[in-house]
A and B are shown apart, each in its own frame.
Chain A
Amino acid sequence: MTGPVLWALLGHWRRNPLQLFTVLAGLALATALWSGVQAINAEARASYRLAADMLGAADRAQITTRAGGRVSVADYVALRRGGWRVTPVIEGRYDDIRILGIDPLTAPFGGSGLSEFTRADFGAFLTAPGLILGQAEVLERLRGKSLAGFETRPSMAPNTALMDIAVAQKLLEFDAGLTRLMVDPQQPLVQVPLGQIAPHLQLTTPQVGADVARLTGSFHLNLTAFGLLAFAVGIFVVHGAIGLAFEQRRGMIRTLRALGVPLRQLVVVQTLELLCLALVAGTVGMCGGYLMAAALLPDVAATLRGLYGADVSGSLHLRPAWWLSGFAIALLGTGLAAAAGLWQVLRMPLLAAAQSRAWALASRWAARWQAGAALALLALAAILAGFGTGLMAGFALLAALLVGAALALPLLLDQTLAVLGGRAKTATAGWFWADTRQQVPGLSLALMALLLAMAANIGVSTMVSSFRQTFVGFLDQRLAAELYVSAQNPGQAADLQRFLEARVDAVLPVQSVSRQLMGMPVAIYGNRPHATYRDNWQFLQAVPDVWQKIAEGKALIVNEQFFRRAGLQLGQELAIGPDHKRTNSLQIAGVYGDYGNPVGQVVIAERLFKQLYPEVVGQRFGLRLDPSQVSKLRLDLIERFDLPQRNVIDQAQIKALSLAVFERTFTVTAALNVLTLAVAGFAILMSLLTLAGLRLPQLAPVWALGMTRASLAKFEVLRAVILAAFTSLMALGLGLLLAWVLLAVINVEAFGWRLPMDVFPAQYARLGALALLAALLAALWPAWRLVRRSPADLLQVFSNER
């Protein structure tokens, strides 16, 4: 029995291919956007995991110098001879590739990096000229740069090359020292305490939360938010189309039952039908998502590398979990979109189905229910905004706000149009507003989709643009010096200072020490008092004359992360210094933004810093000088001190690089923006086309009363544009709210810093124009069809009317 019933039901789609297309395309788009974003995130996360797991570093304790320099080989040997099972690591960047030099003889055998390694020819790895392992693309970039042999390891962390420590040392021009020592979790019975062997070294247990994944979290959050919103937009489209199909098939359902098809059978077959649709659309969507992700991934990878130094594979891998989640989301979407329709079929009495109603939210009861739900959700959002804490509350706020606003939209439009209709002076105007108002229920789902798409656009682009603006400001603040130079050892640092003093306006040492303050890792910086800081640093909160107070050694400033996490107050005293004694308590005089940094920061005066931490020797310096002298001095320094190129960096260069990277981030968000908007435009087109057919009976009398088809068509277009314009206005408000939630709630909960929100009216205007254009284009086709309609069609309305 299933066969003929399914055939009859599917016949509906055969007879209404446009509707079928809407359902499939909407579902496929929703699936594609969602799964595409998921694919990008999954790829990036997999890359982080690989990178972190390289050498099993993710869960290993490490030994580094307290002062922040390199660990000497002598210290390493002293530790080994003191019974410590530690293994040396040299890590650096060569041509932006992460170079990992290891000692296979002492490396503890865990972590993906080493399992890669052990397959390699041990002898070749250890014996000159050595062996370099990495992904093919990485090895290609290293070709000719080292005498070592190459072996491809496709499953190794991206952008990473693994080699013997001797090979790495040569490649990175490390003349001495090690980046860090990794501590084997198993240590022998007899061991000399670390402090006794090398008091200047420190053991750090594996850091939770300071990894790349956390650092890049905000970026992925953006993508995820985008994917989710795009999905919601797509589901609104599908819901509209499926809802219409169910409505149009009510008569058929009744006939089928009258002909002896049991109700349960009907529901089963319809579920089956939806399953087929979901699978077809899901497959198409997954392919689309894959293509989208593959197209965007190189940009994403470049962004992440540039912004956070995170290595992400530029090519996409197909993961079974991803396929499953993609189909699951397609099924979920279909289920969400069709649940109401199926429920109605199930509850519909056999005979009552005969009368046809306007589809979707026509009844007063439904409207009242919807108003109640919208109000409840918006109230919930307000409560969450006021009292919610935690990331989950932030997401709940986001969801409540969006769904509440979407539900409220038709009611707000209805009220607005009622007011406008009441003020109409002419009969035509009165009819126009009343008729427009009548259209709202039919268009409401498409308009909701438009609202969400635009709000998502405004919200996310505001966030990204705000982030960009903040980031640029932050770069200016932090990269105020014209040239940055790093000495290779403390002796050279002193020589450098002497050499530079007479040649530049100011030498600003960058010196820091890592401490535990208030139970969290904090870097304490000693800044040399200078106008540079006063002129460039911006504070989120500060007392007057903050730099003066710091210079006097009476005050300190902290970054926002530390300020928020430790729950500090401006003016509060904070004990710093090695012994945490009261004598070293300083007043918190200011809080500054420090974007993308996972650890806390404290800045004090250089003089005080030297008193508290005499053992720390700053080896990095920011140099203030006439910008025209920069390149000359840079060459001088490289030549005179035999410094590697990367030790002397021109500020303009870093800024340009960072900004270029940021622009690439924009490519990604812009592409997603266009896609979501396209989905919404599509929804409007489909709704208008559908309505055009249903509207004939409404238009025919007006035509009969003497309005031309051309003017009717004009009104149809005008109506679509006006509805889109109202929706755009509301989307603007909602989008700004969304941006605020993302910046001030989600970001703070997730990362500990709040981004200042900037508004970008030109962007919004452009988006609004785009939305109106989309509505205009969408309305043109049905309008054109109306103009071309023969009078006989219109007349038929009267003869055929029930």
Chain B
Amino acid sequence: MAVLVRAFQNVLAWLTLADYDSAKERATVDIVARLARRNVSFQNGSILNGAALRKLSEEGDAAMAHLRKLASHN
């Protein structure tokens, strides 16, 4: 059953050209991992794309605002 589901997903990815986009993403991760000499996270393929970086930055801003609010109450 799992094989059939996987085959269906592959056909769907092929039809929607999602295989093209995912191959490009994999290529980016491979290049970053190859050039990351001293960073284990990069070597393991953990990199932030633009959207993830923006989300992390917004969460950081919200956390800082929350901390400032807490500090002003104490």
A in complex with B: no
